[in-house]
């Protein structure tokens, strides 16, 4: 499993969004939590974007998942940064989510 740190940018102020679209966005996130794809998410302060910590079998699988994000589909948000990382240290209670991480020497 690969791990990714994502940063999204709102292209329209959050407070100007259709409430139904906000509900759809939160439902998308909840489905990701239920499947175990997402660990955390939240808005910037002030809310001009947000962060998401996700995992997927590949970057391509992550991209397919993100294509279904309602704000992205509506052209109201874009992911400006997606960075794959190796979670070599974490709190013990996160061991199940991160799984075994192997560092390869160069």
Instruction: Give the per-residue pLDDT at 103.
Output: 47
- Rounded percentage of the chain residues whose pLDDT exceeds 70: 93
Please state the rounded mean pLDDT for residues 19-33. Answer: 95
Q: Which domains are delineated in the chain?
A: 9-86 (3.30.70.1060)
Q: Is the dihedral of CA 91, 95, 99, 105 positive or negative?
A: positive
pTM value is: 0.87
Helix (H, G, I), strand (E, B) or coil at 6: strand
Residue 89 CA: distances (Å) to CA of 38, 77, 85? 18, 31, 11
Q: What is the spatial distance between Cα 79 and Cα 28, in angstroms, rounded to a whole number?
A: 15
pLDDT bin (cut points 50, 70, 90) of residue 83 is: very high
């Amino acid at each position: 499993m690969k791990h990714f740190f994502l940063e999204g940018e709102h292209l329209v102020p959050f407070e100007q969004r259709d409430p139904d679209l906000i509900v759809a966005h939160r439902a998308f996130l909840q489905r990701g939590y239920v499947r175990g794809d997402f660990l955390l998410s939240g808005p910037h302060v002030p809310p001009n974007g947000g962060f998401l910590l996700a995992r997927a079998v590949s970057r391509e699988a992550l991209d397919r998942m993100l294509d279904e994000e309602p704000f992205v589909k509506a052209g109201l948000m874009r992911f400006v940064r997606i960075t794959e990382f190796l979670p070599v240290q974490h709190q013990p209670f996160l061991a199940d989510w991160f799984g075994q991480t192997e560092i390869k020497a160069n």
